[in-house]
């Protein structure tokens, strides 16, 4: 049986479900994040950070994006900067100085860790039925998706019984990121590799060419970065201590509804 938060004991009342504990102050703690989920969360956060800053180092070497199989230097789809200096400052790149080879080494090393850990988590989530149990929204929940979105905009988060599980907006967001954006990042990254291109010719065809894959890779990275920022803002608004305790210990403490004693 999983241990609860330090210094807190199980209460005999009220009767709770498996994986839940009643704290001394009467609040309910739900074991929401198993160890493998917490490890993957932090490893994934580290990988994404390194991939982002090393990716900007790589983009600094040629700050332009194209569609198709070849790059038309005179007519890029999107170009960054306008002077002789790199468009992305040194404080946001890895390494801080201009070094394309080192940036690629950092990027590829953490890309393989990112892909391996993501595959491991996906297998676990499907095999353990975590996807179906925790991440797939039910039909009834989808009817309240608009309300959930509006509540988030007003920084109003579920309390009481409604806080036992992820809300429908969280579920859909996690599904899109974990089984949509993250695999897309890996596939487009593989497509840009000449070695992979030589062995798996279907990869460039999937995206309409290596340059298209590079552009999709960049747009996907921007979307994940935006999700990361929104995720942090929601964490701060919902209560950083409670949220951080949940992802560190696995136990999510449900607050009382307003008006409850």
Q: How far is CA 95 from CA 86, 101, 221, in A?
A: 13, 10, 19
Q: What pTM was computed for the model?
A: 0.83
Q: What's the CATH fold of domain 33-64+88-254?
A: Fumarate Reductase Cytochrome B subunit (1.20.950)
Give 182's contacts (C-beta < 8 A, 6+ positions apart).
Answer: 118, 224
Joined together, the tokens standing for residue 155 give 């920084």
Query: Going residue by residue through the chain (261 aa), what tens digit of pLDDT does each one get?
Result: 444 454 444 443 445 666 788 888 778 888 888 999 999 999 999 999 999 999 999 999 999 999 988 887 788 999 998 777 889 999 999 999 999 999 999 999 999 999 999 999 999 999 999 999 888 988 888 887 888 888 878 878 777 777 777 888 889 999 999 999 999 999 999 999 888 877 888 888 899 999 999 999 999 999 999 999 988 988 888 888 888 999 999 998 886 544 444
């Amino acid at each position: 049986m999983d241990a609860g938060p330090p210094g807190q004991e199980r209460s005999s009342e009220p009767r709770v479900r498996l994986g839940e504990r009643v704290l001394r102050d009467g609040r309910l703690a739900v074991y929401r994040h198993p160890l493998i989920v917490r490890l993957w969360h932090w490893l994934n956060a580290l990988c994404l950070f390194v991939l982002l800053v090393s990716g900007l180092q790589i983009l600094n070497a040629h700050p332009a994006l194209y569609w198709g199989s070849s790059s038309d230097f005179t007519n890029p789809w999107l170009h960054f900067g306008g002077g002789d200096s790199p468009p992305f400052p040194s404080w946001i790149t890895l390494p801080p100085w201009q070094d394309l080879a080192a940036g690629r080494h950092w990027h590829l090393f953490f890309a393989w860790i990112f892909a391996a850990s993501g595959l491991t988590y996906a297998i676990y989530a499907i095999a353990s039925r975590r996807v179906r149990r925790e991440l797939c929204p039910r039909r009834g929940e989808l009817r309240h998706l608009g309300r959930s979105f509006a509540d988030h905009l007003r920084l109003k988060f579920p309390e009481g019984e409604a806080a036992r599980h992820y809300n429908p907006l969280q579920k859909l967001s996690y599904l899109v990121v974990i089984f949509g954006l993250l695999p897309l990042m890996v596939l487009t990254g593989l497509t840009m590799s000449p070695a992979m291109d030589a062995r798996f010719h279907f990869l460039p065809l999937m995206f309409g060419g290596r340059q298209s894959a590079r552009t999709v890779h960049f747009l996907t990275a921007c979307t994940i970065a935006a999700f990361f920022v929104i995720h942090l803002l929601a964490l701060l608004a919902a209560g950083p201590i409670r949220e951080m305790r949940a992802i560190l210990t696995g136990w999510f403490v449900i607050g009382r509804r307003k008006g409850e004693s």
